[in-house]
């Protein structure tokens, strides 16, 4: 895959993992790269969970307060160079719909039913995976 200039991060509800990945990637990769996120299910229009927002703010200084959940069916997948699934169910949903060279499967455990510390662990797991995308300059 050539160096991607746009990334779409997907999870189930777009309120925990995918927005954390979206905001972390934008912060790490800079303004020359476009990042977005969406969910396969979930309630469109919801904010990121309080623990996701708190983890991003306290651990990385990133403000996710403006995040609004979007559904995958509102996204044009062709606009992205790389589509990163943070959940196996999302990957299985897209595997025959998206060219293999632009689809990545990162399984990241869903922190939704757990406490704040699990969100922190999740955010660092995502950050470590994102480091593999950052070009060496």
pLDDT at 123 over 50: yes
Segment 62-80 mean pLDDT:
95
Residues 111 and 124: beta-carbon distance below 8 Å: no
**Annotation marks residue 110 as catalytic:** yes
**Annotation marks residue 31 as catalytic:** no
Going by the DSSP 8-state scheme, the letter that residue 137 receives in this structure is -
DSSP string, 43-99: -TTPPPPHHHHHHHHHHH----TT----BGGGS-GGG-SEEEESSHHHHHHHTTTS-
Q: One of 27, 81, 110, 127 is an active-site residue; which one?
A: 110
Q: Report percent pLDDT > 70 for the chain.
A: 95
Instruction: Quote the pTM value.
Output: 0.94
CATH 3.40.50.2300 at 6-130, yes or no = yes
Residues 73 and 40: beta-carbon distance below 8 Å: no
Q: One of 11, 16, 85, 122 is an active-site residue; which one?
A: 11
Q: What pLDDT is stored for residue 133 in this prediction?
A: 80
End-to-end CA distance of the chain: 18
**Annotation marks residue 17 as catalytic:** yes
Q: One of 16, 17, 35, 51 is an active-site residue; which one?
A: 17
Domain ranges of the chain: 6-130
DSSP-assigned beta bridge partners for residue 60? none
């Amino acid at each position: 895959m050539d160096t991607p200039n746009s990334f779409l991060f997907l999870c189930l509800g777009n309120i925990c993992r995918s927005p954390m990945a979206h905001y972390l990637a934008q912060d790490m990769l800079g303004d020359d790269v476009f990042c977005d996120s969406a969910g396969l299910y979930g309630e469109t229009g919801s904010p990121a969970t309080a623990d996701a927002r708190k983890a991003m703010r306290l651990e990385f200084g990133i403000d996710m307060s403006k995040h609004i959940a979007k559904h995958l069916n509102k996204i044009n997948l062709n606009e992205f160079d790389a589509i990163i699934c943070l959940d196996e169910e999302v990957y299985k949903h897209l595997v025959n719909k998206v060219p293999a060279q632009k689809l990545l499967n990162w399984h990241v455990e869903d922190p939704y039913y757990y406490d704040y510390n699990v969100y922190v662990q999740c955010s660092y797991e995502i950050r470590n995976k994102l480091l593999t995308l950052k070009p060496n300059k």
